[in-house]
């Protein structure tokens, strides 16, 4: 039986086909999987359809994909417990673990990297040439924004004193903003890989922060230990035992999926104070 399930995505209703075995009644409520909005909503949902389909078939229950219009909204939705499973940025994951008791399950093995890019024909060749200029970046709450900010400070460039950060809604928008006249943009290898070829080929990498921990999968603490163990096992199987999982990892450039350890989470403590400052309600 072919059933249509409506998924709420950044205020949009996206209808996707869900294949349910004939005569099977779904007794359990849908598993709600929230994904950090690091890509436009439709791209994000399309990218994660193989994972959704695998989990749904393996669990014998519907799986719904959700995202949010921005990082702040997603952080708040996570804090309020709106999702059963969360795929989120590493600094958000650590705060959710400490403050709400979320359980880290797995993470991507491929470290993310922050890139400072300029237009291919830009005269800028050195970081110090960004003084007095505007750098377009993704959401200020994105971990890449914190990593690049720290990396630029280590190279003698401080925001507001030496350059201005212009926040954009996505990596794509940041690069487009740069193409329209700003000096540089903040991006990441996976984001560049998923941009249209003409946009990707129009930039040149000026600086590279090196690796940092990428996205982490968390389980809501309302799930019992058996459910969490089952989900961890299924997500690992998706990555290693299925053709669709291997294709997903190749296309995203996330490496592989591996267990998230206590050491992984503890290393993120350096970003917790700044993350809490940025997400705190404004007076």
- In the block, which residue shows the tokens 């690796």? 211
Instruction: Specify the pLDDT at position 95.
Output: 98
Res 46 pLDDT > 60: yes
Comparing 280 with 243, the larger pLDDT belongs to 243
**Residue ranges with strand state E in the chain:** 2-9, 12-19, 31-35, 63-66, 85-88, 103-108, 112-119, 133-137, 163-167, 184-187, 203-212, 216-219, 257-259
Q: What is the pLDDT of residues 238-262, one digit of tens each?
A: 999 999 999 999 988 888 999 999 9
Strands 85-88 and 216-219: antiparallel
pLDDT > 70: percent of the chain = 90
pLDDT confidence bin for 154, thresholds 50/70/90 = very high
pLDDT at 26 over 60: no
Mean pLDDT of 108-122: 91
Q: Would you say residue 3 has pLDDT above 80?
A: no
pTM for the complete prediction? Answer: 0.82
Task: For residue range 181-191, list pLDDT tens digits in order.
Answer: 889 999 988 88
**pLDDT at site 283:** 60
CA distance 238 to 187: 28
Q: Following DSSP, what letter does each residue of 38-49 receive, concatenated?
A: SS-HHHHHHHTH
Query: Each residue of 53-98: pLDDT tens digit?
Result: 999 999 999 999 999 999 999 999 999 999 999 999 999 999 999 9
Domains of the chain plus CATH, in order, are 2-110+213-279 (3.40.190.10), 112-212 (3.40.190.10)
Contact 223, 102 (CB under 8 A): no
């Amino acid at each position: 039986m072919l059933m249509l399930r409506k998924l709420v995505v950044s205020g949009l209703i996206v209808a996707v086909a869900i294949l349910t075995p004939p005569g099977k009644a779904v007794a359990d409520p849908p598993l709600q999987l929230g994904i950090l909005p690091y890509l436009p909503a439709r791209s994000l949902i399309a990218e994660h359809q193989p994972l959704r389909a695998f989990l749904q078939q393996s669990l014998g229950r519907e799986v719904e994909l959700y995202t949010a219009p921005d990082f702040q909204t997603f952080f708040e939705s996570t804090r309020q417990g709106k999702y059963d499973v969360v795929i989120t940025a590493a600094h958000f994951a650590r705060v959710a673990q400490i403050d709400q008791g979320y359980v880290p399950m797995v993470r991507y093995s491929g470290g993310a990297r922050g890139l400072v890019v300029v237009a291919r024909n830009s005269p800028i060749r050195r970081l110090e040439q960004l003084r007095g200029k505007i750098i377009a970046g993704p959401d200020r709450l994105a971990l890449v924004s914190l990593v690049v900010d720290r990396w630029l400070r280590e190279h003698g460039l401080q925001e507001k004193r030496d350059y201005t950060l212009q926040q954009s809604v996505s990596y794509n928008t940041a690069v487009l903003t740069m193409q329209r006249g700003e000096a540089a943009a903040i991006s990441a290898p996976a984001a560049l890989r998923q941009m249209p070829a003409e946009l990707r080929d129009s930039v040149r990498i000026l600086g590279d922060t090196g690796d940092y921990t990428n996205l982490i999968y968390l389980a809501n603490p309302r799930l019992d230990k058996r459910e969490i163990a089952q989900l961890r096992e299924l997500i690992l199987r998706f990555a290693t035992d299925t053709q669709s999982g291997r294709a997903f990892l190749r296309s995203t450039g996330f490496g592989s999926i591996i267990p998230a350890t206590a050491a992984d989470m503890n290393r993120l403590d350096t970003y917790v104070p700044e993350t809490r400052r940025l997400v705190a309600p404004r007076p």
